[in-house]
Chains A and B, each alone.
Chain A
Amino acid sequence: MTPKKRRRLAFAIALVVAGAGAAGLVVYALKDNVLYFYSPSDVQTKHIAAGVAFRIGGLVEKNSVHHGHGAGVDFVVTDGKARVPVTFEGVLPALFREGQGVVAMGRLNDARVFDASEVLAKHDERYMPPDVVDALKRSGRWKEGQ
């Protein structure tokens, strides 16, 4: 092997090692920082442990919204099959309504209540968050043209 070839080989090996290392790091980082999306049915059937962060999507159950304690608010997210109580301390989005689609980010507490850190609703009358559409379709509650 000429010195030039040796240098090239060393460079190629270094590149492969660095690439593999970077890919490994990224996968590792992704594993810990990915938020899964669950429907209320998923939350019930998959026995998600308390303290695991995830997103939940569904409809805000009719007559379930209670403004209580300070700036907090409680409501129930449902997909027609299962219901998950949610508690949230913050400003609700402008188009948060009973019977409408909602996506919340947070984690279950020990009482199996979803402690939301962020609540998103649809942007306008026509738009439904795709996650909610997905959850409703899976529970068979989705009507075309909704």
Chain B
Amino acid sequence: MTGEIGQLALCLALALSFVQSVAGLIGVRSTQARAIANSSALGMFVFTVLAFGALEYAFITSDFSIVVVANNSHTLKPMIYKVTGVWGNHEGSMLLWVLVLSIYSAGIALLKRGGEELTSAALGVQGLLAAAFFLFILLTSNPFLRLDPMPFEGAGLNPLLQDRGLAFHPPVLYTGYVGLSATFAYAAAALITGDIDRLWARAARPFMLIAWIALTIGIAGGSWWAYYDLGWGGFWFWDPVENASLMPWLVGTALLHSALATERTGAFRVWTLLLSIMAFSLSLIGTFLVRSGVVTSVHAFASDPARGVFILLILFLAIGGALSLFAWRAPKLASGSAFQPASRETTLLINNVLLVTALAVVFIGTIYPIVLAAMGTRISVGAPYYELFFAPLFLALMIVLPFGPRLNWRRGDLKDALRTLYPAMGAAAVAMIAVLAFVSPRTVAGAGSFAVAAWVIGASIVDIVRVLRGRAVAIAAFAAALAHAGLGITLMGIAGTTLWRSEALEVLGPGETMHIAGYDLTLDGVTVANGPNYQALRATLEVGSGGEHLGTMTPERRMFPAEGQEAVQTAIRTTGFSDLYLALGDNRGQGRWTIRAYVNPLAPFIWFGAGLMALGGLASLWGRVRAMFFTRDTSPVVEPA
């Protein structure tokens, strides 16, 4: 029964998405059509929620008459993984995708930002996207297919996915990916209505911010998962799947900045439109790469070629359609307003050039091996390629960054800006000297990164102090300062772990001790422990430092009998400034085991900084929400960033 309800709800949502797209596009000219588009957006939302609820119910009640549930669930699976297991497979994750899309559609319909006509056109575009994905689900990845005869037991969920992170990572990342569809819809709507002035950028801003915040959290969360679940001690592997999420983030970040200029002074109008189209296109490309099985990873659920071709088709129609619209309308756009070399626009321009270059680097590094593989040569592009470009690009970005908030729009005063940056320069010098004097090995890269990080963080602190003294537009400046400080802190974390990590690999018997970076690790032994649906080999190690006992750590290897798979569970002990990281290796006989240990200095800073960036985004969003609901909108152009 549940299956049929879900199936029916999906079909109705598909029908409504068609109505929404047609009515929305006609609604640019007609009031009645507008009303229809609005109510279909809300109806689509309701039916998508219903379909999702039906699948959720099937998972919770272990209804193995549904193929997806039988293939990906198990009665013995803990409840949290039954609930989150809904999106731990291809069909369910696509359902989550359209659920998020319909939430954004409903948001656009309810908030009506940018006026009736713009909203209507945006709903039309969103309806087209929704229709494409509902068709995709119903034709190639129906989550409600029946299985006859019904098996007694399900096949279980990949143990790598049996992690609390699965509860958050996909919904958050989809909120980011799909959120860019709202920005895309507004950009296309602006091109359709011909109203390409500042209005649409301001209308799309809250959606842009939500998408960016979610992407930031999603990427940081994914990297944290890789850090503690893979047992390799690293946090970023330049894996195609990671790159697929990084690319929309890079463009999204560029967009967030250029839209600011468009909104305030009308500068970069054309460029901002193009970035909006690019950002969502990259989300789609990411979905294609990740879901089609072109690259293999824990994310590649599907290897059905029909699905890959279908997503590719959606990709071409969306990108092609948007770019044709752009080519048709762009020549009519008036050129943007002029600005002096020393102005905020210039710093935003530099920001955009550098971020888009970084995007190009990631794009080529990700696509090139796929193209070559199609021609029969298998290669992989390693981290050194990316590092070669990212180091100078982000270095330049962060040197210019503190000038942005200090220069006025159109015409700024460089000398004035420099004067307020003296404390930041001092911080940079101190950081550089401290790193050169006290940290070994002594590296130029280390000194450089810490100087730049201190420069950005110092400038952000100056900004926050200025806000607290009431000398700047409060929330906008505060939000920017938080996000920028976060970037500086993340850089410190990345530099710290990559440059000064210690690593040790030893075979230990019971009572034997290994040493790493001032820690003494003594193996007590390896015992068998039982989890809810797995059996673990658990090593118990006593951690000491200079004769003092600090605690016990228990890295594990877990065997999941239902799935016939094994996963490592690392043990991490953090001081907030440095991580001691242990992974259990192979059995070497006679109670001896390989133990891999890392000390990763400043590793927690990576995620702490990302959290600050997201907080900065939230602060900015709060400023918008406050302007939307709590103040009378007298002067629309002076909303905070």
Residues of A within 8 A of B (CB): 22, 25-26, 29-30, 32-37, 55, 67, 70-71, 73, 89-92, 94-95, 123-125, 127, 129-131, 134
Contact = CB atoms under 8 A, between A and B. Distances in A.
A32 B381 CA distance: 10
A129 B160 CA distance: 16
Nearest to B372: A34
A130 B296 contact: yes
Task: Please classify the interface of chain A as helix (H, G, I), strand (E, B), loop, or mixed, using the class held by over half of its residues.
Answer: mixed
Nearest to B557: A94
B382 A34 contact: yes
A33 B384 contact: yes
Interface in B349-380: 357, 360-361, 364-365, 368-369, 377-380
Given A89-B505, A94-B566, A131 B389 contact: no
Nearest to A35: B380
A19 B297 CA distance: 33
23 contacts: A22-B357, A25-B389, A26-B361, A29-B389, A30-B364, A32-B384, A33-B381, A33-B384, A34-B382, A35-B380, A35-B381, A36-B379, A67-B588, A70-B506, A71-B507, A71-B585, A90-B505, A123-B565, A124-B158, A124-B564, A125-B564, A125-B565, A131-B378
B596 A90 contact: yes
A30 B368 contact: yes
Nearest to B295: A130
Contact of B379 (A35, A91, A130): A35
B568 interface: yes
Contact of B364 (A26, A91, A123): A26
Contact of A33 (B382, B506, B583): B382
B385 A91 contact: no
Interface string B582-605: 010110110000101000000000
B437 interface: no
A69 B614 CA distance: 48
A27 B568 CA distance: 38
Nearest to A94: B566
Given A34-B382, A94-B568, A22 B360 contact: yes
B388 A33 contact: yes
A91 B357 contact: no
Q: Interface residue tally of chain B, by bracket? A: 35 or more
Contacts of A25: 389
A34 B505 contact: no
B161 to A, nearest CB: 11
A124 B562 CA distance: 12
Nearest to A67: B588
Nearest to B369: A34
B585 A92 contact: yes
A61 B263 CA distance: 64
A127 B566 CA distance: 13
Contacts of B357: 22
Contacts of B189: none
Nearest to B583: A91
Contacts of A134: 378
B563 interface: yes
Contacts of B381: 30, 33-35
Interface in B152-205: 158, 160
Contacts of B583: 91
Contacts of B384: 32-33
A70 B509 CA distance: 12
Contacts of A91: 231, 505, 583, 585-586, 594, 596
Interface string B277-304: 0000000000000000000101000000
Contacts of B382: 33-35
Interface in B553-586: 557, 563-568, 583, 585-586
B131 to A, nearest CB: 33
A32 B567 CA distance: 34
Contacts of A73: 586
A34 B379 contact: yes
Nearest to A126: B564
B326 to A, nearest CB: 18
A124 B385 contact: no
Contact of A37 (B360, B379, B385): B379
A36 B377 contact: yes
A94 B536 CA distance: 12
B411 to A, nearest CB: 19
Interface in B318-374: 357, 360-361, 364-365, 368-369
B267 to A, nearest CB: 16
Contacts of A89: 505
Nearest to A125: B564
A129 B293 CA distance: 12
Contacts of B568: 94
B585 A34 contact: no
Contacts of A130: 296
Given A70-B506, A71-B594, A94-B568, 13 more contacts: A25-B389, A26-B364, A29-B385, A29-B389, A33-B384, A34-B369, A34-B385, A35-B382, A67-B589, A91-B505, A123-B158, A124-B158, A134-B378
A29 B379 CA distance: 14
Residue with the highest number of chain B CB atoms closer than 10 Å, among A25, A32, A67, A71: A71
A29 B360 CA distance: 13
A30 B385 contact: yes
Contacts of A29: 385, 388-389
Nearest to B300: A127
B408 to A, nearest CB: 24
A138 B388 CA distance: 35
Contacts of B588: 67
A70 B594 CA distance: 9
List the 3 shortest-distance A-B pairs measured between CB atoms, nearest first: A91-B585, A33-B385, A37-B378
A63 to B, nearest CB: 16
Residue with the highest number of chain B CB atoms closer than 10 Å, among A32, A33, A55: A33
A36 B100 CA distance: 40
B505 A37 contact: no
A123 B588 CA distance: 22
